[in-house]
Amino acid sequence: MKSFLTIVSLFFVLVIVVFVEWHLDTPGRADQQRSILLGGGSGTEHRVEAVGRIKVESVVENDIEEAVESSAEQSVSVEVSSIDGESIYNAGCVACHGAGIAGAPRVGDIDEWLERVSAGMDVVMDHAINGYQGSKGMMPAKGGNPSLSDDEVKAAVEYMVAASQ
Ligand code: HEC
């Protein structure tokens, strides 16, 4: 009786092991069966090929989109940095600010610039863009060059302050 029970329980263990093994292998078997299915029949191969091609094209398209996006970003950053404060300064402001003509604060004289900047960068920018009559002299609006944009004047001021430090 005891040996019969042992045999029965061994049989159950065996069944469970086979059952588990079979299910563990299900994905592999499914793959195998699919490849057998896809491999046979003439029309199937064509369909599979077409799917493959569409995939490749969409990847290429994505690459192009990414390339276009990144080049767009690049041109934006080029645009932003295309305002060159130094060359704007050299084209006009230097006439008075280079040597400190007519009371203009000289670029390179950090004490003079610190005094002005301490009044607030907003005031300094406003004076440079709109011009003003100061105690030392007269700063013409945009240095006398109305074709400059506000941002270009600001870039020039930033350069002048930075170059004085
Ligand atoms: C015709 C001479 C002249 C030119 C050209 C000129 N400036 Fe001035 N600028 C002055 C004078 C003079 C002052 C000082 C006025 C004062 O405080 O009495 C001054 C002051 C300034 C200040 C200080 C403002 C403040 O609040 O203290 C800035 C900034 C400035 N100029 C920027 C510029 C820029 C930028 C340009 C070129 C786009 C330029 N200037 C061209 C004469 C000039």
Counting Cβ atoms within 10 Å, is residue 140 exposed (0-12), middle (13-18) or buried (19+)? middle
Q: How far apart are CA 66 and CA 48, in angstroms?
A: 28
Whether the pLDDT of residue 79 is over 50: the answer is: no
Other CB atoms within 10 A of residue 74 CB:
10
Whether the pLDDT of residue 133 is over 70: the answer is: yes
Output the pLDDT for position 107.
96
Output the pLDDT for position 118.
93
Which tokens in the block code for residue 21? 């093994």
| CB 128 within 8 Å of CB 142 | yes
Other CB atoms within 10 A of residue 37 CB:
10
Q: How far is the CA of 112 from the centre of ligand 1 (A)?
A: 12
* Predicted confidence (pLDDT) per residue in 5-21, tens digit: 888 888 888 887 777 77
Output the pLDDT for position 18.
74
Q: How far is the CA of 125 from the centre of ligand 1 (A)?
A: 10
- Closest among 163, 16, 3 to 89, alpha carbons compared: 163
For a ligand 1 pocket test, name from 84, 88, 97 the mutation site with the most ligand atoms within 8 angstroms of its C-beta: 97
Q: How far is the CA of 106 from the centre of ligand 1 (A)?
A: 9
For a ligand 1 pocket test, name from 86, 88, 96, 154 the mutation site with the most ligand atoms within 8 angstroms of its C-beta: 96
Whether the pLDDT of residue 101 is over 80: the answer is: yes
- Closest among 112, 99, 96 to 164, alpha carbons compared: 112
Q: How far is the CA of 153 from the centre of ligand 1 (A)?
A: 11
Q: How far apart are CA 27 and CA 83, in angstroms?
A: 61
User: What per-residue string of b and e applies to 81-108 under the rule 16 or more CB within 10 Å gives b?
Assistant: eebebeebbeebbbebbeebeeebbbbe
Through-space distance between the first and last CA atoms of the chain, rounded to whole angstroms: 102
* Predicted confidence (pLDDT) per residue in 34-78, tens digit: 777 766 655 556 666 655 555 555 556 666 666 656 655 555 444
Average pLDDT score, the chain: 81
